[in-house]
Amino acid sequence: MSTPVSPFSYLSTLWVQLTGTWCNLQCVHCINASGPKNPWLKSLDPKTVKRSIREAETFGVKEIYFTGGEPFLHEDILDLLAFALQAAPTTILTNGTMINGTVADALAALASQTPYSFEIRVSIDDIDAEQNDRIRGKGAWAKALKAIQLLHARGLLPILTATEPVHQSLSEESGLYTRFRNFLLSLGIDKPRVKIIPIFPIGRMAVVGAPLLTEEVLQGFDFSLLQCSETRVVADGGIYSCPILAGLAEARLSEESLQDSFKPCRLYHPACVTCYHTGMTCKNF
Amino acid sequence: MQAIKEYRRIAVFGGIYNNALALEAMLEDVYKREVEAVFCLGDMGGFGPHPDRVFPLLKAAGVLAIQGNYDESLALGKGDCGCGYTDPRDNFFARVSYEYTFQNTSLNNKAWLGRLPKQRRIRLGPLQVSMCHGSPRTINEFLWESSTPNGLVQKFLRHGGTDVLLCTHTGIKWQRRLPEGKHLVNVGVIGRPENDGQTNVWYTILTAGDDLQVEFVPVHYDHERLALEMEQEGLPPEFIETIRTGWWTTCMEILPAKERRRGKY
């Protein structure tokens, strides 16, 4: 049985896997098993990041995303965000624990200096501190919440991002979205923004023997619904097909050049099944 | 191949969203402004009351229309509007809006929507002008001012071999002038106000000259009558609030931070 492939349409989104799997937290559901010790995927140097952004700009990239690990651990993060924001709308995905008043001020300054949208996604997995910290580590909830409030106070409208523990489809009935929305409103955050993402069978949630996509299942499927049809990721070691699989040898499409990565990619991983079922996109919208 | 028609001065609008009252007011305004043609960039339905009232007005005025994602969905009998919301609250309201419009649009009008072209091309004086609903590559792509980098606009213009790109879909007008006389104009919508606390809606007049002249024109219409009609049709109070106040209350997920910040919710 051959592995199905997803065609490449055009480059809409560039992801920068900035800090590899280096993170100050060690969440139980982390897609790439990030943590503070011995990251298996290294951080990127600023030269590589800027080269990829410049190249992406020549191909009309629409959005740039920074992720990790925890991207605020990178010493050049503010400079790199400023660079990206001159090229295209930019989003950073963070656990929020490193955003204090000084960092929030710097982010507000970046937002005011760009014509493009600057989005900050802060991860929280439960409105209850104890439940959240069971997943994300002790003290994570309070720090992330503080970050959301600091950003809100500066008009930055952070997007609270929560992981829903389902594999097949994002459930409206679970009420997770409404709980978070009401929670933010109760804190006086009058423009609440919430994004729910599913659990992926990868990283710390890898499932042995999890199902894979087949060509039979994908008969007549609209591949434009898969983010790998218009997304590429720069991470240590080269250019990869999607942010979930960044750093994995089988998802690597080129060594350095974005253009060389503009080719069909193999839907070889159980995580591809989650995207197929949920219509999952790592993008904000 | 059909020859590309040349104009000097045109009116362009998008997003009627069943708002026949605003359409009527806009067309009356247009007649006073000596334009050679009126173009609509799609999304006739959604949000407002009595979808079928829009079509006779468009036909009588000879409006040259293209398809929006809403029109495509209605014509093909799809299950949703094709905006692609992921937020459950936005999805709920989008479903209410689409089901009402689907049930109240006649088969003849759905078929008419199905015959509309997806894009158009004209000349405006010396300028090549391309019209689309969302973007040249995707009917439901949102081109907000803050989410559309110059590199992307230049790519669209280069690939299309055009000088001016016209779009709508987002519900908020904007324009950008690029080097070498190139332009992108999001012409706005006449179906609902643009989240600025004002009840009027907007359309656009384009005039050929040494450089393209872009004029955004406000349209004031009987929005209170529209609100009452929406109430009589049992449409959601959240939609009616938008008509009465000028603030968006639903489908907020699609707004980038910069545009969201300007609104009330």
Contacts of B147 in chain A (CB under 8 A): 62-63, 89, 116-117
Q: How far apart are the first and last CA of chain B?
A: 48
Tens digits of residue pLDDT in A3-55: 999 999 999 999 999 999 999 999 999 999 999 999 999 999 999 999 999 99
pLDDT computed for residue B1 by the predictor: 57
CB contact under 8 A, B257 and A195: no
Question: What was the pLDDT predicted at A166?
Answer: 57
Q: Which of A117, A120, A148 to mutate to test the interface with B (most CBs of B within 10 A)?
A: A117
Domains contained in chain A, CATH given: 5-278 (3.20.20.70)
Interchain contact, B154 vs A57, CB within 8 Å: no
ipTM: 0.94
Q: Cβ contact (<8 Å) for A89 and B149? A: yes
Q: How far apart are CA A111 and CA A106, in angstroms?
A: 9
Confidence band of A167 (pLDDT split at 50, 70, 90): very low
Quote the mean pLDDT of chain B: 96
pLDDT tens profile A74-117: 999 999 999 999 999 999 999 999 999 999 999 999 999 999 99
- pLDDT greater than 50 at residue A246: yes
Contacts of A14 in chain B (CB under 8 A): none
Chain B hits for A118, CB-CB cut-off 8 Å, are 257
Residue percentage of chain A with pLDDT more than 90: 91
- Judge whether residue B224 has pLDDT over 50: yes
**In the β-sheet with A63-67, what is the strand arrangement from edge to edge?**
A194-198, A159-164, A118-123, A90-94, A63-67, A13-17, A231-235, A238-240, A252-254
Question: pLDDT category, A173, cuts 50, 70, 90?
Answer: low
pLDDT tens digits, one per residue of B72-110 = 999 999 988 877 777 788 889 999 999 999 999 999 999
Q: Do A191 and B254 touch (CB under 8 A)?
A: no
Q: What does the pLDDT average to over B169-184?
A: 96
CB contact under 8 A, B149 and A285: no
**Rg of the Cα atoms in chain A:** 18
Cβ–Cβ of B88/A285 closer than 8 Å?
no
Interface test with A, best of B76, B89, B147 (most A CBs within 10 A): B147
